Amino acid sequence: MLSLLLVPALILSLPAFAQPVSQGSFGSTTTQVYNNCSGTLTSRPTGAATDTLPKISSGGSVGWERWDLTLYQTGVLLNLRWIQGDPASHSSKPSNATFEFSAAFDNGTTYDTRITGQILAFTDSPLYSISIGQNTLTWDDSRTWFNTSLNLNGLTASIATESIMLDSFSPYAGGVSGQLTKNLYSNIPVTRGRSNIGSVQFPWGENVPLLARSILSHMFATKPVQSLAVSYAILNFRSVGTQYTDSFIYESSRAPDTSAANQVYNSFYLGRAESRNTGFEPYTIYAGTNSNLLSVSQINSTVTEAQMSGCSHTDFVPFTWNYTQPSPILEQTDSAGGITRFFVSTTVSALEPFGSDPVQIVSGTELGYTYQAPGST
């Protein structure tokens, strides 16, 4: 895991040419209803889904953009990746889009397929959607479900994912607003919840019904990724209690010029959804690096403690995750030789405050990935 180094605040604004979508919170402060100690979320922000919508125009002359829907259930890890442009190319053309599907089975076998030479299509009425060929990701108008349909090279899939938390967004986190390093932007992959409707049909005839945990991440830039980050890590720890589910998200990155302290970026996020009626509803989200909203310390390489300061309804008890960082189960190499490694750990346990019971001990899962630029260690 990359080191946990707290950094000074940095307030940024996103270049206008990278924002064909008018809404979203990249480069802006969005604490408001996301960060509070009331124990309730009074309203669902109407722009909650917009930070995962396209920011780089497919008709533009430069730039790239990537969406990863990562799902895990016992037996298989799936990664669905929509890309416009080439993240590793100095002459990336957003009009050239690629869709990639990767699977890593618990028995050690992997499967990869892709289509390229396509154009990414985006619609915002009546529903938000992006498509590359016959591979579509669609948000519903309530932002509580999104649907995926796939059809490529003999593989078909239909997946519905229930949101138990806010859609991915980039809250103000100690000054790092959706920024992995300077000019490399990423949303916060808040756990969407579970993909409990649908299945994947593989070309050899195997049909895999889905009851998976999932996250959706979104990244974009106008320069090649290896020129902006030597490495980065995005790790999501999800734990589930009887009445709630929690996510702790950790992002860390290192820019090429590591001689300067401000070239290392770290952000931490803590979210909770509470069980209500037949499903989960957003509870609240806390974000920070070294702020009065959330403080985080790494006790050692396998234990992380997150404290929500000033929140009496948690009895001021810290959230503590115990985990073992496993070996990657899937690797992808980009056109420049950079390697993305996917990690899954099902041995996570957590000590968490809840209601009248100050601490509950629950099990959890880690789902995340790291990137290593070519030539770096």
The answer to whether the CB of 86 falls within 8 A of the CB of 92 is: yes
154 lies in a domain?
Answer: yes
**Residue that the structure tokens 């720890």 belong to:** 237
pLDDT (tens digit, 9 = 90+) per residue, 85-96?
999 999 999 999
165 lies in a domain?
Answer: yes
pLDDT (tens digit, 9 = 90+) per residue, 34-67?
444 554 544 554 454 566 778 888 888 899 999 9
> How many domains is the chain built from?
1
Q: What are phi and psi of 372, to 5 degrees?
A: -125, 120
48 lies in a domain?
Answer: yes
Rounded to whole angstroms, what are the CA distances from 151 to 155, 163, 200, 206?
6, 24, 10, 15
Q: In which domain, by residue range, is 314 found?
A: 16-372
199 lies in a domain?
Answer: yes
Q: How many CA atoms lie within 13 A of 117 on its CB side?
A: 1
Query: Is the pLDDT confidence value at 129 over 50?
Result: yes
pLDDT over 90 percentage in the chain: 34
Identify the band that residue 165 occupies on the pLDDT scale cut at 50, 70 and 90. low
Residue 246's pLDDT is: 77
Integer Cα distance of 100 and 112 in angstroms: 7
9 lies in a domain?
Answer: no
339 lies in a domain?
Answer: yes
Least confident span in 161-175, 213-227, 352-366: 161-175
Q: What share of the chain is helix, strand, coil (3-state, %, to 5)?
A: 5, 50, 45
Integer Cα distance of 121 and 115 in angstroms: 15
309 lies in a domain?
Answer: yes
8 lies in a domain?
Answer: no
Identify the band that residue 258 occupies on the pLDDT scale cut at 50, 70 and 90. low
